[in-house]
A and B are shown apart, each in its own frame.
Chain A
Amino acid sequence: MSMIILKAVLYIILAPLIGGLLSGVDRVISARMQGRQGPPVFQPFYDVYKLLNKQTTVVNSIQVLFVTGYLIMTIFTGTLFFAGGDMLLVFFALSMAEVVMVMAAFSTNGPYSIMGAQRELLQMMCYEPMTLLVAIGFYYANGSFMVNDLIQARVPAIVQIPGFFIGFVFILIIKLRKSPFDLSTSHHMHQEMVKGLTTDLSGNNLAFVEIAEWYDTVLMMGIVGMFFLTANPISRVWALIACAVVFFLETLIDNLFPRVKYITMLKVTWSVILVFAGTNLLILNVLK
């Protein structure tokens, strides 16, 4: 029990720091890829600090509630995962948190916000099958839904569910808001729909959204790492290396591809999920 609390507290305290650092590293690498110097690595922390010191402007009074709810639920989801909970529940809670964020954008009645919100819902429709399938894939590989059991696996899950891994890295593009699938809001400069989902948020609210995204990034990296974890402590090194490689890959994809139309995103994502994860699922079922 105390281990669980310790893990939860560690996550709550360290995740924003790690997430912010990852975000900063992402920006520096992108800049170098573009031949620029780029911001300092700690820039995301400066950004959030500035946002927290700005006046908060809102469009209505419930938007703050929704954004706060989003932050709290994202923290809860990550804590659930790192404390060893049920993976399916983690993903369901994550989708609930995202829906609350979408409600924040819907409530503003601004055109960019609402369009961003609907695109965010479409993105959720695209990646939700894969996230659920990841949980199911882990169940097939290791016989349990609980993260506590999964990290004590004998064989790294990647050996049995590589298709799921590929599918998951693919939808990570959507989750981490990278081109070509950053339809609802982009981390880069204003594109297409101003800031989409976060258009009508500012100050504190925006800072909360940033921090929540950091928690989310750490959670996603944790899931990527879980594909490589076994009971052997050396596997942690492999997991970290895998996270680093995947993160670099995501940044690379971000810089390579332009944004696609929504129907392309839907078709491509669902096809990838069906082909890679579906085939893998079929094979696992046949082998059982």
Chain B
Amino acid sequence: MLNAVNFLILFPFLMAVIIGFLKKASPLRSAVIIIGGFSIMVTAIYVAVNVLTSGDTSRFVYLEHTHVPDMLVIAGEIFLMGLVCFLSIKYKKYYAIIFSLVGTIPVLWMDLTGKAVEGNTHIRIDTFAAVMYLIVGIVGILICIYASGYMKDYHHHHTDVQDRSNYFLALMFVFLGAMFGLISSDNLGWIYFFWEITSVCSFLMIGYTRTQEAVDNSFRALWMNLLGGCGFAAGLLYCNLNPELQISNLSQVTHTSAPAIVIVPVTLFAFAALTKSAQFPFSRWLLGAMVAPTPSSALLHSATMVKIGVYMLIRVAPVMAGTLTGIMITVIGGFTFFAASLLAITVSDGKKVLAYSTISNLGLITACAGTGTTEGVWAAVMLVLFHAVSKSLLFQTVGDIENCMHSRDIEDMHGLIIKLPRLAFIMIIGICGMFMAPFGMLVSKWAALKSFVDSGSVWLVLFLVFGSGSTLFYWAKWLGKICTVIHQSFELEDTTPRSEMVSIFPLTSLIVIMCFAFPWMSGHMIQPILDEAYHTSIPDVIGGSDIIIMMIMVAMVFMIPIGARFLSIGKNSKMTMSYVAGVNAGDDRHYIDSFGKERALYMSNWYMTDYFGEKKLLKPCIYIATVLVAVMLIIVVGGAF
């Protein structure tokens, strides 16, 4: 078992080195990625299944004496610091150096002077880690496989970008290795190290195209994530050095007997999680990250990296229950959920909508975790699962649409169901998976609502219900755009390569399967997480009758189209033109104006930028959120000193 975990953590780094040497996009490189990727996936599934079926996960702890790995970690941290400083000087963004130094040097000092607490197990695989293994192993690897085909197309279209795709793909595997390391680690120092690797990976991947905009955005991502890292480092130092605490492991933090003291590092960890998961006021880096090629958006900024932030929050959720930190995290999360969904209404760039949607959903997960209740954690984990699958699918499909149509603007997706039927169909499933009953996100939102109601937080309930309405608006109008049937438009050439389909079809089927399987998932995957986190056996969150009704709804959603096809409903109807006040020019897309000339008719989506636009809303939201975060930090952390 330990060998499998070691393999999962170290093998991706090895693969990264190998891929780094394969400069050109060749069948060899694709083969290496596919074989290596699948071996990682299989191992991850093996580990996860072992853990989930074992019944008692407290025995999956390893590595008490870790001198050599610790040396490696220290070396790695110094390397990262050096890399960041070098690149900051090269691009003249000196502020990043400060964050990096502040984040790394105190930790190094603590490690090297032996003040860190030693002797506890460094690796721990419990149910939550197993679930995250599944997410990273399945979704992450599928995205890497997708990327190997995508990068070839990307450089074919963007000839102005230097082809360093080997470097890009290598970074993806480095990132995966860091993810596995982070999930498996229990030692806070190690978690911090892997955390920093993901920050730097994200920074390097965003800046891949090396345009001025990309460089700016990557440094924005870097400083925000490093700022969070400083917070994490501060919490780490507090845990290890505070004479009343002297703990080195995350599980010691969460299962502590001194909640009043431990809340301080927990708040700092929560702060770090906020930056990593792009909550307000730290959301701009995720929006700016959209300049990177699609696989990085899919992998980093929707499915996996931002999940680390909420992973930390879910881990510390039981400690946050009922504290000021919990309340503030909940409010920030709820506020982000609502504000980001309002902003998502106003943008027409497909990736930007997905970015705002990610921020919004992460806000919901944050809020759920912040309540600290069992239903909250249940809802948060369910949301993580469903969101990872749906969002990565959506990003990948938008990337494919961009490759086929050379545009990812929603306005250009008008009538996609005729132009690119396969991709449109996948998009429909993806979008429905995000907001429609009875798909998973809605189930989770339902559980979240129930948990908020019990937590007694009025703000949160209000944020959730209002945000739910605006979420519906932007998804449904995108869905409508895709479903528009434009007569006499023709199917475009679908240039999606087969390797990308290898990734997209499993994800689509996964969404559908998870719809049906969610009661099973709830019972076997999530209840154990709750049991472990709260040390008691938690009763089922969603009752039996509700599950039956959900299953009926799922069955209906799938039976209605199938039934309609077989019963030939509507086959005998007469086809007419759409009504354009009697002056339809015959093809539903032109009309005759009052001078007798034919003019084109076009329906765009409704953006309401005057009221909710970025210009109006983004800055106030960032200010409000900054105040909230500052209040939280000052009261909790400052109060400790």
Contact = CB atoms under 8 A, between A and B. Distances in A.
A and B touch in the complex (CB under 8 A): yes
Interface of A: 55-65, 68-69, 72-73, 76, 80, 85-86, 88-89, 92-93, 95-96, 99, 102-103, 105-115, 117-118, 121-122, 124-130, 132-133, 136, 139-140, 145, 194, 199-200, 203-204, 263, 266, 270, 274, 278, 281-282, 285, 288
Interface string B441-467: 010001001100100101001101110
A285 B456 contact: yes
Interface stretch (B13-21, B37-45, B571-579): B571-579
A236 B464 CA distance: 33
Interface stretch (B152-160, B387-395, B402-410, B475-483): B475-483
Contact of A72 (B415, B481, B485, B556): B556
A127 B481 CA distance: 23
Contact of A274 (B462, B477, B545, B564): B462
Top 9 A-B pairs ranked by shortest CB distance? Answer: A110-B578, A64-B570, A106-B480, A128-B469, A60-B485, A129-B465, A125-B469, A132-B465, A56-B573
Nearest to B452: A136
B470 interface: yes
Contacts of B611: 263, 266
B161 interface: no
A270 B466 contact: yes
A209 B234 CA distance: 61
Contacts of B481: 106
Contacts of B436: 96, 99
B62 interface: no
Contacts of B2: none
B549 A132 contact: no
17 contacts: A62-B485, A64-B569, A65-B570, A76-B552, A89-B446, A93-B437, A99-B476, A107-B483, A109-B415, A118-B606, A122-B473, A122-B606, A125-B470, A129-B469, A140-B453, A203-B573, A204-B573
A93 B553 contact: yes
Nearest to B564: A65
B579 A125 contact: no
A119 to B, nearest CB: 8
A110 B580 contact: yes
Interface residues of B, number: 60
A128 B606 contact: no
B578 A113 contact: yes
A89 B465 contact: no
A76 to B, nearest CB: 7
Contacts of A125: 469-470, 472-473
A92 B580 contact: no
A129 B580 contact: no
Nearest to A84: B545
A28 B436 CA distance: 38
B563 to A, nearest CB: 9
Contacts of A76: 552-553, 556
A60 B487 contact: yes
Given A95-B437, A103-B479, A285-B456, A86 B549 contact: yes
A99 B561 CA distance: 15
Interface in B567-594: 569-570, 572-581, 588-589
A69 B564 CA distance: 9
A121 B473 contact: yes
A124 B495 CA distance: 37
A128 B467 CA distance: 9
B570 A56 contact: yes
Nearest to B612: A266
Given A57-B576, A59-B588, A136-B465, 15 more contacts: A58-B574, A59-B485, A63-B570, A68-B570, A72-B556, A76-B553, A92-B437, A107-B483, A110-B578, A121-B476, A124-B473, A129-B462, A136-B461, A199-B579, A278-B458
Contact of A282 (B446, B458, B479): B458
Given A88-B446, A93-B553, A199-B579, A102 B476 contact: yes
Contact of B588 (A56, A85, A105, A110): A110
Given A60-B487, A110-B578, A124-B472, A281 B573 contact: no
B549 A80 contact: yes
A65 B553 contact: no
Contacts of A68: 560, 564, 569-570
Contacts of B476: 99, 102-103, 121, 124
B640 interface: no
A118 B605 contact: yes
Given A61-B570, A64-B570, A128-B468, A102 B449 contact: no
Contacts of A118: 477, 480, 605-606
B578 A108 contact: yes
Contacts of B472: 95, 99, 121, 124-125, 128
Contact of B480 (A72, A92, A102): A102
A263 B612 CA distance: 11
Contacts of B513: none
Given A118-B605, A281-B462, A96 B477 contact: no
Nearest to A72: B560
B461 A86 contact: no
A36 to B, nearest CB: 29
Given A55-B574, A57-B574, A122-B606, A132 B449 contact: yes
Query: Which among B415, B545, B553, B573 has the highest number of chain A CB atoms within 10 Å?
Result: B573
A117 B468 contact: no
B486 interface: yes
B601 interface: yes
A111 B574 contact: no
B482 to A, nearest CB: 9
Contacts of A128: 465, 468-469, 472
